[in-house]
Amino acid sequence: MNIRQQQEQWERDYLSPYASLSAESRGRDREEPQCDIRPVYQRDRDRILHSKAFRRMKHKTQVFLAPTGDHYRTRLTHTLEVAQIARTIARALRMNEDLTEAIALGHDLGHTPFGHAGEAILNKLNPDGFTHFAQSVRVVEELEKNCRGLNLTWEVRNGIMNHGTSRMPETMEGKIVRFSDKIAYINHDIDDAIRGQIISEEDIPDVYTDVLGHTSKSRLNTLIHGIIGESIGKPDIIMPQEIEAAMLGLRRYMFDHVYTNPIAKGQEHKAQNLLRALFEHFMENYHELPVEYQEMGERTSASRERVVCDYIAGMTDQYAISVYEELYVPTAWKVF
């Protein structure tokens, strides 16, 4: 029995009966030899962690466009906070931590430059629409490794696709990430908004803080303990009704006072105009796309709009600005 098989046996002996066992995965689209050390979900976690799309998230907007401080969250730090929360819950409930972490690390790989502002404009420009969760799956299936994809397991891809509010994953681990995403962004966005002097702790309605807590630490503690306490021994991941109602109310408060606040979002129209210009340019000059994107489009019969969106969505904030400047901003010249 090799190390991987020992790990798989440990999962059978220790994990909850509702956990996803590595040895019982639905598998990958393309079969490949098993690793002698790592079970399938650990391999998926490692593939995501080493991907270029994962590294690019450190230069992608979370909420605040072009913040001047060093401590505002990026898409990457958000992802790491989601993974930390999700693993805490998964370990307490004896779920599969490797699957949980793989989903958490991959759930936002498809996010555009400039956050949800970028997602919204690409959704308008592409006739087939654009969502970051579907794009995240497209990244791991089609775009990574020079458009060969990461060949992840079905369970990881299902968790990535269904991490949003309106969707539901089929695994317990995916459901943990779905909750952890909300817990992370609500709390760290409050922290960033307070740092940016958009709101203060005292501005948050007592109807929510009296239930969840009056500090970030206490709110995280309440939410995480609520899920663990309510879900132990049950075939679902749930939260006490009072706590969930307060969390969703706090989320609505953030949409009303932070996510649409002109201080935080004042540059969004500029970012969207920039991405629109890039989209129109590459639609008219398709041959300027990297060769691997053109070949991928031919191989998969993807529309030109989809391929152009793939390229733009993969850009970091600064790279999108640099490409725009190269195309549209004149540079000074010198005669030597």
Is the CB of residue 248 less than 8 Å from the CB of residue 237?
Answer: no
Predicted model pTM: 0.95
- What is the residue-averaged pLDDT of the chain? 94
pLDDT tens digits for range 120-176: 999 999 999 999 999 999 999 999 998 899 999 999 999 999 998 778 999 999 999
d(CA 89, CA 93): 6
d(CA 135, CA 213): 35
pLDDT tens digits for range 258-296: 887 777 677 889 999 999 999 999 999 999 999 999 998
pLDDT tens digits for range 205-223: 999 999 999 999 999 999 9
Residue closest to 242 by CA, chosen among 219, 212, 206 = 212
Residue closest to 100 by CA, chosen among 154, 182, 176, 165 = 176
pLDDT tens digits for range 9-52: 999 999 999 999 999 999 999 999 999 999 999 999 999 999 99
How confident is the model over 313-334, as a mean pLDDT?
91
Q: Which residues contact 54 (CB under 8 A, 6 or more apart)?
A: 48, 76, 79, 105, 106, 109
